[in-house]
């Protein structure tokens, strides 16, 4: 088979795939001078609300600000502890820290999502909230998490930045707690051409506070500043692009799920790698933001794939939160520490073809003999 060039993510093609439609949307916004908090943002928020079946969706500057604003709106602050899995981006813990609260790391399981038993072991008198991270396009098994929250009167705030549209028991990621958060970084399943994010909630008070926090603390009704906030609004240009992309979202997710099925059918017989669950996996509906595997001889495999034109990455540079010694976040995390030695990501996005994924699988099979 001829050598292919398959970058981990094809950013130029992300724009060029629907170039004419994007240019038309951008021209419309710019010709109206509609740059901040205009109808495009409102229409996107309405579209997101309708898609997820929630009362409120608030567009914000990025996924990190979405997490921080949701924590602030929920009253998390000095002296509180928030449980968060170690296998996540630093933004999850940083947002907790910026409220004055303390992030407490918990372990993950074989699906790389939050481990309920680790959550239970780490609940203390100071625990105020649990932050499940719905990672790689999959929602965690939330039954026990919800049970612990009810039993200990804890708030659930979801970092669902990698799971827009993913479901567990027919409930969308982001809807299990008092608020859920999303990122619209360009490589996300729904991405703009810069940074963007959103907070969703069914709680009117939370929604109102987030709307104030994102706009310098100003009350949207009378314009008076009622609290200290941020310049954390979702730019209207990004909102217009996201609104356009929503038309294709289900189609793009279907492509990802089809590619995941190819990966699983081609590679599940290999004993030296651990794959994500397949698309048809019981109570879950996965959107495959990423295709994260665990691989024996990981670095040799990555080198072999690179030599054959295939890009791979280690999520977050190969680090989990417990690896950052300066932050003093380490905890009892046996699976996370074991997994960190093996985890890597194969290409996964709607711009790939079936032939691309079959080529990748061919090269992985050759490597493992």
In terms of domains, do 187 and 332 share one? Answer: no
Please state the rounded mean pLDDT for residues 304-323.
Answer: 97
In terms of domains, do 270 and 298 share one? Answer: yes
Please state the rounded mean pLDDT for residues 248-277.
Answer: 98
In terms of domains, do 91 and 173 share one? Answer: yes
Please state the rounded mean pLDDT for residues 52-63.
Answer: 98
Please state the rounded mean pLDDT for residues 162-178.
Answer: 98
Please state the rounded mean pLDDT for residues 161-166.
Answer: 98
Question: CATH number, domain at 177?
Answer: 3.40.640.10
Per-residue pLDDT, 2: 82
205, pLDDT greater than 90 = yes
Residues in the chain, total: 369
> Cα dihedral sign for 270, 274, 278, 281?
positive
In terms of domains, do 196 and 58 share one? Answer: yes
In terms of domains, do 235 and 254 share one? Answer: no
| 310 found inside a domain | yes
In terms of domains, do 223 and 151 share one? Answer: yes
| 6 found inside a domain | no
Which residue's entry shows tokens 């921080």? 68
| 270 found inside a domain | yes
Whole-angstrom distance, CA of residue 117 vs CA of residue 231: 38
59, pLDDT greater than 80 = yes
What pTM value is reported for the model? 0.96
**Token pair of 363, please?**
């090269």
Q: What is the DSSP string of 29-57?
A: HHHHT--SS-HHHHHHHHHHHHHHT-SEE
DSSP character at residue 323: G
1, pLDDT greater than 80 = no
In terms of domains, do 266 and 217 share one? Answer: no
In terms of domains, do 232 and 95 share one? Answer: yes
**Residue 304 three-state SS:** helix
Q: What is the DSSP string of 202-241?
A: S-HHHHHHHHHHTBTTB-TTT--B-S---B-BPPHHHHHH
Please state the rounded mean pLDDT for residues 33-38.
Answer: 94
Domain that holds residue 355: 250-367
pLDDT, tens digit (0-9, with 9 covering 90-100), for 217-246 = 999 999 999 999 999 999 999 999 999 999
pLDDT, tens digit (0-9, with 9 covering 90-100), for 83-133 = 999 999 999 999 999 999 999 999 999 999 999 999 999 999 999 999 999
Question: CATH number, domain at 315?
Answer: 3.90.1150.10
Whole-angstrom distance, CA of residue 8 vs CA of residue 314: 11
| 81 found inside a domain | yes
In terms of domains, do 283 and 239 share one? Answer: no
Please state the rounded mean pLDDT for residues 205-212.
Answer: 98
Asked if 58 and 178 touch (Cβ cutoff 8 Å), the reply is no
| 2 found inside a domain | no
In terms of domains, do 103 and 197 share one? Answer: yes
Asked if 149 and 156 touch (Cβ cutoff 8 Å), the reply is yes
Counting the structural domains of the chain, the total is 2
| 1 found inside a domain | no
- Three-point CA angle 120, 126, 128, nearest 5°: 75
In terms of domains, do 168 and 305 share one? Answer: no
| 149 found inside a domain | yes
Select from 246, 278, 300 the last residue of a domain. 246
- Three-point CA angle 274, 276, 281, nearest 5°: 125
Strands 167-168 and 155-159: unpaired
Quick one: which H or E segment has residue 201? strand 197-201
| 108 found inside a domain | yes
In terms of domains, do 95 and 201 share one? Answer: yes
Select from 190, 221, 246 the last residue of a domain. 246
Select from 214, 246, 278 the last residue of a domain. 246
Mean pLDDT of the chain: 97
């Amino acid at each position: 088979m001829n050598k292919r060039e398959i970058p981990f993510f094809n950013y130029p093609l992300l724009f060029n795939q629907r170039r004419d439609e994007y240019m038309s949307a951008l021209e419309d916004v710019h010709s109206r001078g509609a740059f901040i908090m205009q109808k495009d943002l409102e229409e996107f928020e309405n579209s997101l609300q309708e898609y997820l079946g929630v009362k409120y969706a608030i567009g914000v500057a990025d996924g990190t600000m979405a997490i921080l604003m949701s924590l602030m709106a929920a009253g998390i602050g000095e002296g509180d502890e928030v449980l968060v899995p170690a296998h996540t981006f630093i933004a999850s813990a940083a947002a907790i820290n910026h409220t004055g609260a303390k992030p407490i790391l918990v372990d993950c399981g074989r699906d790389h999502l939050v481990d309920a038993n680790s959550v239970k072991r780490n609940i203390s008198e100071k625990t105020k909230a649990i932050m499940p991270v719905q990672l790689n396009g999959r929602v965690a098994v939330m039954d026990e998490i919800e049970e612990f929250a009810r039993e200990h009167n804890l708030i659930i705030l979801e970092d669902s930045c990698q799971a827009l549209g993913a479901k567990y028991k027919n409930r969308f990621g982001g809807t299990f707690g008092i608020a859920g958060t999303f990122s619209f970084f360009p490589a996300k399943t729904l991405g703009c051409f810069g940074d963007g994010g959103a907070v969703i909630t069914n709680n009117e008070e939370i929604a109102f506070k987030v709307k104030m926090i994102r706009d310098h603390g100003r009350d949207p009704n009378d314009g008076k500043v009622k609290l200290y906030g941020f310049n954390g609004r979702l730019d209207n240009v990004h909102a217009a692009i996201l609104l356009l992309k929503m038309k294709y979202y289900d189609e793009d997710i279907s492509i990802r799920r089809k590619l995941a099925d190819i990966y699983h059918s081609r590679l599940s017989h290999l004993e030296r790698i651990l794959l994500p669950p397949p698309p048809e996996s019981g109570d879950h509906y996965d959107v495959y933001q990423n295709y994260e595997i665990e691989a024996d001889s990981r670095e040799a495999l990555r080198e072999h794939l690179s030599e054959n034109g295939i890009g791979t990455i280690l999520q977050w540079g190969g680090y989990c939160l417990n690896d950052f010694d300066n932050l003093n976040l380490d905890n009892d995390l046996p699976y996370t520490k074991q997994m960190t030695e093996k985890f890597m990501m194969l290409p996964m996005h709607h711009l790939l073809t079936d032939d691309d994924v079959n080529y990748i699988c061919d090269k992985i099979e050759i490597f493992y003999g």
